[in-house]
Structure 1
Amino acid sequence: MSTFSFSAERFSGLNPGRSNTFTINCSGFHRHGVDPAVFQTIFNQKDFRPVINYSIPTQVNISFTLSAILDVIWTNPFISWDPEKCGAISKLTVTTENLWLPDIFIVESMDVDQTPEGLSAYVTNDGHIVYNKPMRVTSICSLYIFYFPFDQQNCTLTFSSFLYTVENMLLGMEKEVWETADTSRDIVRTQGEWELLGINKATPKMSVGSSLFDQIMFYVAIRRRPSLYVINLLVPSSFLISIDALSFYLPAESENRAPFKITLLLGYNVFLLMMNKLLPASGTPLISVYFALCLSLMVVSLLETIFITYLLHMASTQPSPMPPWLYSLLFHCTSPGKCCPVALWNENTGPGLMSTHLPGLKEPGQLVGKELGSREAELNGGSGLTSTQLADLWVQFSHMMDTFLFRLYLIFLASSIITVIILWNT
């Protein structure tokens, strides 16, 4: 039976300039497996940084992916063996409890390290150690959510050491940045609501008092996938505000316009309450401004309907004398060749209003073309207008105002939506 032994030069202290060679005699590994006792002397040194000359810093290379896997690679000069004498074994797995581990941490991390216990690391015959550290990181990232859900964010991940300064440990990259970005992009593409745009790096030194620490900063650019929010937020909101605009085509004399608008307003409030959980918890994104505009327009639309309903009710019950300036404005707008909106009156005035509410109502053309007396005559007094004719004037004024306010509503709605879209595109 073969015996296994660990041969190394004993040393007292690790003095600068002393050169020691540690070679593991692993004959028999190919037949009987690895003998832990062979590595025990090295494992006993795990509390110290594994270097022969303490004036030389340990080079630690890192790589990571956004799937929360951190690769840490360094060299332990105390570990080496000849693969030809060890059954062509060039790599072993060793539990991390037996190894010195660099204290690499993420500066922006907010939670306690949740790395599972009992992990192992790969150790190669030339002393290279590769430690794959799966971890979940909740990091601090300043989000600018004004353009939500069409926003692009830039987050920073800074890798550094708590204990070792630049005299003891230097950080480097195991892979090129573009390789890390490509690997992370393939993973991020299949999960989550974010799309990875790119990763850049910088290597500034961090000064803490008189100590200088090495660090690597990664700038991660990500963009939100907006499809979820467009389908669940923008599309329903756009439908509701469009229906509210179309409700203006309901006859002003109809008793259904105001209740219909109230129902839409209540439905929009319920929609906002249900979808509130999809909005960012802090800040005021542009989409919230859009929702506030839509809600305000619905309220203004309801107030306009209440105003027109009041005018029609006044005309059908006891019409008050029309002020001279208002009569002059109405006469001016309804004169031939003027572009005032009186066509809607012809469409919306139905037989029900003619027979029930306003008996004897005349066609607007007849009313406009008729001589209404001298300029100095007083309305409903010296002009000789009957109550029916005065009611006709108020009805015509009500429909003119209804169409005018409807056009203002459309102009403000279109300009608001166009402004929001332009801001989102920028």
Structure 2
Amino acid sequence: MEGSKLHRERSPFYLVLALLLQGRGSTFTINCSGFDHYGVDPSILNPVFERKAFRPVTDISVPTRVNISFTMSAILDVDEQLQLLSSFLWLEMVWDNPFISWNPEECKGIAKFSIAAKNLWLPDIFIVESIDVDKTPKDLKAYVSNEGRIEYNEPMKVTSVCNLDIFYFPFDQQNCTLTFRSFVYTAEHLVLGMEKEVWELTDVSREIVQAYGEWELLSIKKATPKMSVGPNLYDQIAFYVSVRRRPSLYIINLLMPSSFLVAIDAISFYLPAESENRAPFKITLLLGYNVFLLMMNDLLPTNGTSLISVYFAVCLSLMVVSLLETVFITYMLYLATTQPPPMPRWLQALLLHCTRPRRCCPTAPRKGNKDLGLVPTHLPDLKEPAELVGTVPGPREAGSNGCPESVRAQHEREAQKQHLIELWVQFSLMMDTLLFCLYLLLLASSIITVIVLWNT
């Protein structure tokens, strides 16, 4: 009883072993009587079709070599938020079936024909990084040559995990990996090779991908690392795909409008500081820039921090600083024309030093001072307040003109106040020019820094 039970348990094993060892050391020669001008008689390949569940080898200890290559025909999408690369590949696999052979001269010159791939043994090659369900079309065909070489082409849409770095958006370059290996067969039973050279894959794929799309293919490189899963060792081929974004869309829709608004904000400093139009103009620009950022938000990556987001934040900050500078200068001019405080001697000396001829600091009051009722002055050397009023009549002149002494004192006070107003106005205009220069320096340094980072 125990012997019969053991025999029944081992009978499937003997059946599989018999199928594997069938034809050991020899090939199955196809009878040419099945070839005619109308095609090939399917019945002549029945012995081959019956072996499709087993790896086609005459010696089970010899691994099957599968040469693979692919053509990247399209880069469909790069999802920065989910860190995914969607592409379309044409995968080509080539291997030998030692049980298929015929003589083309005896078989009406037929050296190659196609049959349904479902009737043949197919290697279970998959992409390790792929996370999508296999959507390969069914009922694909495979070419079989008279030497037993089988060529199988498989179109596939691949959604693979990729470590995307968006810091340099929209001038970013992404490097993704596509690793091909068998799901079941270890390195003892299946080894992978290359059907074409890597430069051939790169050239063909680059020509196709460059035809359309947001991304362009830069290069494809390969490596052949072994993968160990527990006690098993798998053979695999890793392709490193480098792609670059075409930035023209983002330059036109993002960078150019932002640069124009910032340039207009800088030019608005040439509006007279005492004018009432400068502050409202800058507020309008600031509101317009915020509306621009809200409208273009869909074009910006939502995951991580990109350099273009930093650039927009810097531009917005500079426009706010520009508005604050205008508010500060306007407030200083208001104080100078209504309630001018006494000016310290060191500030008078500094102002006189900067207002001397052949100096770099701007000194001349603007024409807008006439609107305030101010009379430009050349600011002579000031030592004492009494010396500031050179046009006030003296005691003898006042007596000869019949002016009372109180009128003379009032003229002196008005002259001193007028001169003090002129000093504060000139100081405010000088501060406006100085802050404008600092603004331009900060703007230029920020833009140059961003450009240098984008080029690295």
Fold agreement, TM-score > 0.5: yes
CA contact (8 A) 1:83 1:125 kept: yes
Higher mean Cα deviation, 229-238 or 173-182?
A: 229-238
Matches within 5 A, 1:142-291: 142-291=163-312
* RMSD across aligned positions (CA): 2.5
Higher mean Cα deviation, 203-212 or 190-199?
A: 190-199
The residue type equivalent to 1:242 in the other structure is: A
Shift of 1:160: 0.8
The residue type equivalent to 1:187 in the other structure is: I
Sequence identity (%) = 66
Match of 1:406 among 430, 436, 456: 436
> Alpha carbons of 1:157 and 1:28: their partners in 2 closer, same or farther (altered >3 Å)?
closer
- CA distance in 1 between counterparts of 2:387 and 2:230 reads 95
Shift of 1:367: 6.5
Match of 2:60 among 31, 54, 62: 54
**1:362 matches 2:375:** yes
Classify the secondary structure of the residue corresponding to 1:393. Answer: helix
- CA distance in 1 between counterparts of 2:424 and 2:229 reads 80
Q: Which has the larger radius of gyration?
A: 2
Matches within 5 A, 1:292-371: 292-336=313-357, 338-343=359-364, 346-354=365-373, 361-366=374-379
Note the alpha carbon deviations across 1:57-102, whole angstroms, 9 max, x for none: 1110001111211101111222222323332222222222212111
**1:141 matches 2:192:** no
CA contact (8 A) 1:364 1:396 kept: no
Shift of 1:206: 0.8
Residue 5 of structure 1 corresponds to none
Classify the secondary structure of the residue corresponding to 2:366. Answer: helix
Shift of 1:368: 6.2
Note the alpha carbon deviations across 1:218-260, whole angstroms, 9 max, x for none: 1222322222222222111111111100000001111111111
Note the alpha carbon deviations across 1:100-156, whole angstroms, 9 max, x for none: 111111111121222112211112222211111111112222222222222233222
CA contact (8 A) 1:27 1:85 kept: no
Residue 26 of structure 2 corresponds to 20
Matches within 5 A, 1:97-112: 97-112=118-133
- CA distance in 2 between counterparts of 1:28 and 1:197 reads 49
CA contact (8 A) 1:63 1:180 kept: yes
> Alpha carbons of 1:323 and 1:46: their partners in 2 closer, same or farther (altered >3 Å)?
same
- CA distance in 1 between counterparts of 2:425 and 2:381 reads 13
The residue type equivalent to 2:44 in the other structure is: V
- CA distance in 1 between counterparts of 2:23 and 2:45 reads 25
- CA distance in 1 between counterparts of 2:264 and 2:142 reads 63
CA contact (8 A) 2:142 2:152 kept: yes
CA contact (8 A) 2:69 2:201 kept: yes
**1:372 matches 2:355:** no
- CA distance in 2 between counterparts of 1:33 and 1:421 reads 65
Higher mean Cα deviation, 327-336 or 173-182?
A: 327-336
Residue 66 of structure 1 corresponds to 72
Matches within 5 A, 1:106-125: 106-125=127-146
CA contact (8 A) 1:335 1:368 kept: no
- CA distance in 2 between counterparts of 1:161 and 1:303 reads 65
The residue type equivalent to 1:38 in the other structure is: I
- CA distance in 1 between counterparts of 2:37 and 2:324 reads 92
Shift of 1:180: 0.9
Classify the secondary structure of the residue corresponding to 2:168. Answer: coil
The residue type equivalent to 1:20 in the other structure is: S
- CA distance in 1 between counterparts of 2:367 and 2:137 reads 74
Q: Which runs of no fewer than 5 residues in structure 1 stay unpaired?
A: 1-10, 355-360, 376-381
CA contact (8 A) 1:17 1:53 kept: no
- CA distance in 1 between counterparts of 2:455 and 2:18 reads 68
**1:421 matches 2:427:** no
Residue 50 of structure 2 corresponds to 44
- CA distance in 1 between counterparts of 2:340 and 2:382 reads 21
Residue 407 of structure 2 corresponds to none
- CA distance in 1 between counterparts of 2:367 and 2:33 reads 103
Query: What's the TM-score once normalised by structure 1's chain length?
Result: 0.87
Note the alpha carbon deviations across 1:324-349, whole angstroms, 9 max, x for none: 54444334433455432223xx3352
Classify the secondary structure of the residue corresponding to 1:365. Answer: coil
The residue type equivalent to 1:342 in the other structure is: T
**1:392 matches 2:422:** yes
**Corresponding pairs, count:** 402
Query: What's the TM-score once normalised by structure 2's chain length?
Result: 0.82
Classify the secondary structure of the residue corresponding to 1:133. Answer: strand
- CA distance in 2 between counterparts of 1:101 and 1:226 reads 42
Shift of 1:161: 1.0
CA contact (8 A) 1:252 1:348 kept: no
